[in-house]
Structure 1
Amino acid sequence: MNRSSALLLAFVFLSGCQSLAPVSPDATSPVEDSTSAPEKPKVYSSFSEDTVFSLLSAELAGQRNRFDIALDNYVTQAINTQDPGISERAFRIAEYLGADQAALDTSLIWAKNAPDDLEAQRAAAIQLARAGRYDDSMVYMEKVLQGKGDTHFDFLALSAADTDQDTRNGLMKSFDRLLQKHPHNSQLIFGKALLMQQDGDAKEALALLEQNPPEDGEVAPLLLRARLLQSLNRGKEALPLLEKSIRKYPDDKRLRLTYARMLVEQDRMEDAKTQFSSLVQQYPEDDELRYSLALVCLEAKAWEEAKGYLEDLIARESHEDSAHLNLGRIAEELNDPQGALIEYGQVGPGNDYLPAQLRQADILMNNGRTDEAQKRLVSARDAQPDYAIQLYLIEVETLSANNQGERAWKVIQQALQQYPDDMNLLYTRAMQAEKRNDLAQMEKDLRLIIQREPDNAMALNALGYTLSDRTTRYAEAKTLIEQAHQLTPEDPAVLDSLGWVNFRLGNLDEAERLLRQALERFPDQEVAAHLGEVLWNNGKQREAKQIWSKFLKDQPDSPVLRGTIKRLTGSETL
């Protein structure tokens, strides 16, 4: 195409751009319509030949998927011409491509040259917020507010979530400044409430929203109010609020979905099932809702209903792996191990693959088909080499759980021959060695892990606990466990170990304090056994028996609990 032809086409293209700025009224003549009043003349800015050619080149580049050229040309011409139409087009391209700096630059040019265009001012405000320039952003958003346009103060607040406290404090001052001018503006109030929530001021945020009810049609403040109530452990108050809102806005998806999820959190599965069912009827093409409904049915133990929804998902080719995994779980619940194996066998690589492999192995081993289970896992490793290490771990753990310790040892040795530097395999061998009473091998593997990963809290804790439980090296054990505790101070397993080593050292009160914390965070039979033993030795036998009795109700055959009780009382029964 020669340059003259290109320019002619460019002028045709440009004449269709409504956003090009008009100049003098006599530059063009309107076309009169005999049946309507004459239009005001549309007159477009005159551009240089180079500008027109650059813009045409940009459009042609875009048609050929050379968006880099299109963006570069448009940004250049937006800067050169300062034309609002060109800068808007440049901004749209930059936004589409995720070119953040170009989007910011062109939005500012657009806003500068179209001061009365609320969309331009809003675009500049949002881009400035994305760049972390919140004070500048508020200046542009205030222009939108003054023009009575739709502001996005909520976006400004949300975009500041990951910033430092000083930045959020500055943004809060900007909100307060604008609220002095516009004290009843619901968008400003909502944005400030979001900032308060981010700062952990849930009570203050809730009070602000309750003092300033949203305008009709504003649902987001209602949702935030419900979430704040939930975060303050007042979820039962959130439900009536959402119920009232749903009656007012029955077709609002967000309201009903939030309500349904809160019902799940409060363990009201039948009510949640009703709400998710209603959502699926309203939005029959939304498979996320259908999958959620299936999971709620599973929680409610409505096996046949869950099965129907999961089979629907498979027919719709949506969530297929998760559907097969959950159909396998249903089959297990219905005592159909063969059906479960069929479902688990259809789960492909992805998030659900390893859980399906684990369940297959466990079912087969529980039914005396250990050889078949191992053959399947070997085949799986051959077919999916990316999962080989995890599949080795599954094989070892399921063999060990099914009292096949020698086979488990052979498999972990084989795995480490193939992957000698894998920390998870080394840790697993250490745990298997401990079960074989091979404490030397266990310590060797754990110290190798700690040498390579000094901050591996799991290895530090495992070695420290074993030394405190199986040897008399208590001081050394305490040092290791304290290192783990510094790394993971809230980990109940570490708290349990720290409590146990203090018991071994005779620090009964400190041991009791730590073990109570551990049991509160993780109600486990072994922690209960430890706490009971400490209480027993600290003159609190009645409380020790109460704790043991409570956990025996859930696990009457627990060897840890029964062994502890027999050792201390002379009988396995209380």
Structure 2
Amino acid sequence: MSDASAQTVMAEVALKRGDCRAASESYAKAAASSADVPLVRRATQVAMACEHLPAAWAAATRWHALAPQDREGNALYAAVALKLYHTADARTAIREFWRSEERASVATPPAGKAGGPDPATGQDPATGNASPSVPGGASAAARPAQRAARGMGELMALLLEESDAPAVLMAMSGALEPSAHTPETLTLLGELALAAYDAQRAQEYAEQALQHDPRDAAALRVLARAYVVHGDASQALATARKAKADDSTRGGFELAEVLASLDRIEEAHHELEHLRTAGAPAAEVDRRLALLAFASGDLKEARQRFMELLSSGQGTDTTQLYLADITARDGDPEGAIAAYRRLYDSSVALSARSRAASLLLDRNARSEALTLLDDYAADHPEDELELTLAKARLLADHGEADTGLALLASALERHPQHPSIEYDRAVILEQAGHVHESVQALEQMLSERPDDPTLLNALGYTLADHTLELPHAEGLIRRALAVMPDNPAALDSLGWVRFRAGDSKSAVAMLQHAYTLGHDAEIAAHWGEALWASGQRAEARRVWAAALARDPDSKPLKATLKRFLPDAK
């Protein structure tokens, strides 16, 4: 038996006994000495599923060397590269993936053969239905571009599962520009830029796409959202109304979303009711009205609308999860736990169990809380890392930071060099009062990922929050904002560091902008504190009250209120 074969057997035996690390490392050794692409593919997939990044990188690199034009190989190579912040390597793989998509699209069989719609009708010859890739019977020239963009969309979704949006945008834009000139690809990049908190780039991509087709609904949607982020309400609404003129239902829903994003809740409500009277799907209107009420803090209306969805047969597991959340916010932990319990084996099981566990920990039912997560992990080993991170955060949030840190240390043994574990460890160290160690951990991570905006912001905020090295902290945060200029958390950090430096006036403006973009209760806490310090106490009270209505369980907000309004209920 060859060494590769022996290592493969050892890997499969390790998998059967649940030793993911040993399986990943044995498969990586097998891949290193083999030219068998299926074996190397299996090695990469196992290491990725086991979240063993060094083994995944070794196997993916071998796969890329053996089959540099392999579509799946390039996709997984890019995914691992991005997770390790090897941006240049990710770009190379993405560029090759793009070329393979273009080649495959051009080589698609002609009409009447399997895999291709009729060019004259845009219909699938096997079913007679309109091809999903040819809306309305698009031209034959457009179809390859649509297929290539769809493939890139699938790649983007994979990369976003493994990395954050700014890193994915950095890699994908670098790989596709300037060859990305089709409206489909430009719109895809625009959507990614929005997710990466870069509205200016999103606007530029959307405008380029609209030069090809001024009525492109997807590009208009990106452009409207970019205007919202810029704070240009008139342009955002004009763009959304243009989309509605071309498609009254889809465009109407988009207009309602834009209105809601601009905090024009009553107008959004009116638009949705208008859509109902115009014949839009009632269940979709009701779903959006329920979400609108929930997001604005009107829990009574939200409960009523979610209940109506359930009674009409249009409800989902997510509908029930919202109802359980509302019960928890209403101060009925027993009722909420009972509602979450009904979802323990549903499509939202992990969220339901995590939230129930948090409520149980609030009541000191520690054993029951952790059993909820452990039982799920036993049945879903593929979610082991996510569950471990959730458990560590829960414990830290309930005064057991040291236990949470021990869990993360054990997780790093199983998943060496994993950035999510290392990042959560730094966060919990700070939470536990080990500020120096937290700063050291973030600095170590930054030495390996010097341009990672999430790390730059985390370190800058940690220093600012403890009034340490404020000029250095501000420099770090500004570097983060250079990559993700519209990120509410980073804008909050910049406002907070200015506040800590004694510049309440500029801090107020920055924090107000951050809250407008993110509506996060902790940002509201900071904004209110800056207002209070600048003498605007009535406005601070208004900000805190509005944020508390949206998120009554926010610990940072409640802690701020306790400091400034100790008699408030």
Residue of structure 2 equivalent to 1:560 = 559
Distance 1:431 1:92, change over 3 A: same
Per-residue deviation, 1:168: 4.7
Q: In structure 1, what is the Cα distance between the partners aligned to 2:186 and 2:529?
A: 50
Matched, 1:169 2:200: no
Match of 2:249 among 203, 217, 223: 223
Match of 1:128 among 141, 161, 173: 141
Task: Output one character per residue of 1:509-540: Cα deviation in whole Å (capped at 9) or x when no partner.
Answer: 32222122223334455434433443444454
Per-residue deviation, 1:498: 0.8
Matched, 1:387 2:404: no
TM normalised by structure 2 equals: 0.52
Aligned residue type for 1:462: A
Note the 1:394-543 alignment, pairs <5 A.
394-541=390-537, 543=539
Note the 1:334-349 alignment, pairs <5 A.
335-336=334-335, 339-340=338-339, 342-347=341-346
Aligned residue type for 2:559: V
Q: In structure 1, what is the Cα distance between the partners aligned to 2:326 and 2:525?
A: 34
Distance 1:455 1:203, change over 3 A: same
Q: Is the 8 A contact 2:111 2:119 kept in 1?
A: no
Task: Output one character per residue of 1:4-53: Cα deviation in whole Å (capped at 9) or x when no partner.
Answer: xxxxxxxxxxxxxxxxxxxxxxxxxxxxxxxxxxxxxxxxxxxxxxxxxx
Residue of structure 2 equivalent to 1:299 = 302
Distance 1:353 1:542, change over 3 A: closer
Note the 1:229-244 alignment, pairs <5 A.
230=256, 233=259, 235=268, 238=271, 242=275
Task: Output one character per residue of 1:300-357: Cα deviation in whole Å (capped at 9) or x when no partner.
Answer: 34787666667x98xxxxx6x658867866886873467446424323xx6x232133
Aligned residue type for 1:468: A
Distance 1:93 1:489, change over 3 A: same
Q: Is the 8 A contact 1:297 1:303 kept in 2?
A: no
Q: Is the 8 A contact 1:499 1:514 kept in 2?
A: yes
Q: Which deviates the most, 448-457 or 431-440?
A: 448-457
Task: Output one character per residue of 1:242-275: Cα deviation in whole Å (capped at 9) or x when no partner.
Answer: 46644xxxxxxx5555655665576599xxxxxx
Note the 1:50-449 alignment, pairs <5 A.
91-94=110-113, 97-99=114-116, 126-131=139-144, 168-169=210-211, 203=238, 221-223=247-249, 226-227=252-253, 230=256, 233=259, 235=268, 238=271, 242=275, 245-246=278-279, 254=280, 256=282, 260=286, 263-264=289-290, 267=293, 299-301=302-304, 335-336=334-335, 339-340=338-339, 342-347=341-346, 352-449=348-445
Q: In structure 1, what is the Cα distance between the partners aligned to 2:467 and 2:294?
A: 49
Distance 1:493 1:343, change over 3 A: same
Residue of structure 1 equivalent to 2:41 = none
Distance 1:509 1:415, change over 3 A: same
Aligned residue type for 1:98: G
Task: Output one character per residue of 1:206-255: Cα deviation in whole Å (capped at 9) or x when no partner.
Answer: 58997xxxxxxxxx854366457547746577567646644xxxxxxx55
Q: Is the 8 A contact 2:293 2:302 kept in 1?
A: no
2:139 counterpart SS class: helix
1:454 counterpart SS class: coil
Per-residue deviation, 1:445: 1.9
Distance 1:306 1:403, change over 3 A: farther
Distance 1:398 1:127, change over 3 A: same
Stretches of structure 2 lacking an aligned partner (at least 5 in a row) = 1-108, 126-134, 147-181, 190-204, 225-234, 260-266
Q: In structure 2, what is the Cα distance between the partners aligned to 1:526 and 1:357?
A: 24
Aligned residue type for 2:249: L
Q: Is the 8 A contact 1:377 1:395 kept in 2?
A: yes
Q: In structure 1, what is the Cα distance between the partners aligned to 2:319 and 2:271?
A: 32
TM normalised by structure 1 equals: 0.51
Q: In structure 1, what is the Cα distance between the partners aligned to 2:400 and 2:564?
A: 27
Count of residue pairs brought into register by the alignment: 372
Q: In structure 1, what is the Cα distance between the partners aligned to 2:321 and 2:310?
A: 11
Stretches of structure 1 lacking an aligned partner (at least 5 in a row) = 1-89, 111-121, 134-155, 173-190, 211-219, 247-253, 270-295, 314-318
Give the share of equivalent positions with the same residue, in percent. Answer: 23
Per-residue deviation, 1:464: 1.0
Distance 1:309 1:453, change over 3 A: farther
Aligned residue type for 1:518: A
Residue of structure 2 equivalent to 1:279 = none
Q: Is the 8 A contact 2:287 2:306 kept in 1?
A: no
Residue of structure 2 equivalent to 1:137 = none
Residue of structure 1 equivalent to 2:149 = none
Per-residue deviation, 1:387: 0.9
Q: In structure 2, what is the Cα distance between the partners aligned to 1:545 and 1:401?
A: 26
Per-residue deviation, 1:439: 1.9
Q: In structure 2, what is the Cα distance between the partners aligned to 1:225 and 1:301?
A: 26
Query: Looking at CA atoms only, which structure, 1 or 2, has the larger radius of gyration?
Result: 1
Distance 1:237 1:360, change over 3 A: closer
1:420 counterpart SS class: coil
Q: Is the 8 A contact 1:515 1:527 kept in 2?
A: yes
Distance 1:438 1:543, change over 3 A: same
Distance 1:159 1:126, change over 3 A: farther
Q: Is the 8 A contact 1:245 1:255 kept in 2?
A: no
1:472 counterpart SS class: coil
1:300 counterpart SS class: helix
Distance 1:501 1:199, change over 3 A: closer
Q: Is the 8 A contact 1:449 1:456 kept in 2?
A: no
Q: In structure 2, what is the Cα distance between the partners aligned to 1:358 and 1:225?
A: 36
Per-residue deviation, 1:92: 4.7
Q: In structure 1, what is the Cα distance between the partners aligned to 2:136 and 2:251?
A: 28
Q: In structure 1, what is the Cα distance between the partners aligned to 2:248 and 2:121?
A: 36
Distance 1:506 1:166, change over 3 A: closer
Q: In structure 1, what is the Cα distance between the partners aligned to 2:221 and 2:368?
A: 54
Aligned residue type for 1:499: G
Q: Which has the higher contact order (CA 8 A, sep 6+)?
A: 2
Residue of structure 1 equivalent to 2:232 = none
